[in-house]
Amino acid sequence: MNRTKYASLVLLMTLISGLAFPVGRIGMNHASPFLLMAVRFLIAGALMAAFTAKRRQPRGLRQWGQVALIGALNSAGVMGCAYYSMNWITSGESAILTFVNPLFVIVLGTLFAGARYGGRQWLGVAVGLLGVVVTFGTEFRVSPGTFIGLLGALIFATATLLVRKWGPTFDNAVMSAYQMLSGGVVLLILSFASEHPHLALNGTSVAALLWLIAVNSIVQFTVWFYLLRNSDPARTSAFLFLAPFFGVLGGWALVGESLHWYVGAGGALICAGIFLVNWQAKPRPERPERAPKVAGV
């Protein structure tokens, strides 16, 4: 994948990932969190499954189990935690916590996947994480939503490494479809088990739901899985530090959440962290060896 294509897809994915939080906040004014997510993923997954019915399907219980586990983590776990956390914190804060994911990807990849990262990558993660903290500003308060958001980030990192490991054996769009379906089923069960499910259909809620289905489910997951399959997961995940920046801006623009100067400062640090994680020094050209002198020449 060339750099222009990679950068364009990453920017698109992080932008729509960040906007999922304020749009979801709008939807939650008319629906319970788990039910909203369940409807989103079940409809999006069904549409994708119908569209990809003639493509290569998962084979055997092993592959179906892998898709189901990825869906339970990536759709139900991550987005369930993110949206449920918004019962205590703002959509921007939820986005910031969820996208601490790159730090967990490098840590888990080092501990369990045998990945090796240099000092520059670790410094980049630290700088990006500092940017996330600065973006929070002085209004950060610890609440149940804080821990739920961080749990979502940890689940996100686990799902990222599993997609990188198992993804090449699947058709990209087919995996997107069935992991959304499995995640939707898990969220539907959680909805009836842990909340009073309700969904009021009106112009605002339908518009929010359509955006979540078409853009934040079908487009986002397809692009995300494609990037993970064709790049290093730690480098790609580092760009997710941009998503909370877009989430905070979206929260300000769409739902009137506060926007302060330190959001810009945090955004600059986030960009610096991404650069450090992804920057690779060009190898120095080898100096040609001098031919030995021959007497008389």
CA distances from 138 to 42, 77, 89, 141 (A): 39, 29, 14, 9
pLDDT per residue over 97-136, tens digit each? 787 777 777 778 777 766 677 777 778 778 877 877 776 6
pLDDT at residue 184 in the model: 93
* Residues 6 or more apart in contact with residue 218 via CB below 8 angstroms: 44, 47, 48, 176
pLDDT at residue 62 in the model: 93
- Rounded to 10 degrees, the C-alpha dihedral 214/40/106/175 comes to -70
pLDDT per residue over 24-70, tens digit each? 889 888 999 899 989 999 999 999 999 999 999 998 899 999 999 99
Percent of the chain with pLDDT over 90: 20
**What does the alpha-carbon distance between residue 154 and residue 98 come to, in Å, rounded to a whole number?**
8
- What mean pLDDT is reported for the chain? 80
Planar angle of CA 85, 88, 92, nearest 5 degrees: 70
Report which DSSP code applies to 31: B
For tokens 């506060």, the residue is 258
What residue type is assigned to position 84 of the chain?
A: Y
What residue type is assigned to position 53 of the chain?
A: A
pLDDT at residue 283 in the model: 41
* Residues 6 or more apart in contact with residue 203 via CB below 8 angstroms: none
- Rounded to 10 degrees, the C-alpha dihedral 196/202/206/207 comes to -130
Query: Rounded to 5 degrees, what are φ and ψ at 280?
Result: -125, 120
CA distances from 195 to 31, 33, 190, 198, 271 (A): 11, 9, 8, 9, 38
**What does the alpha-carbon distance between residue 96 and residue 129 come to, in Å, rounded to a whole number?**
10
- Report, as an integer, the average pLDDT of 141-147: 79
For tokens 């909805």, the residue is 191
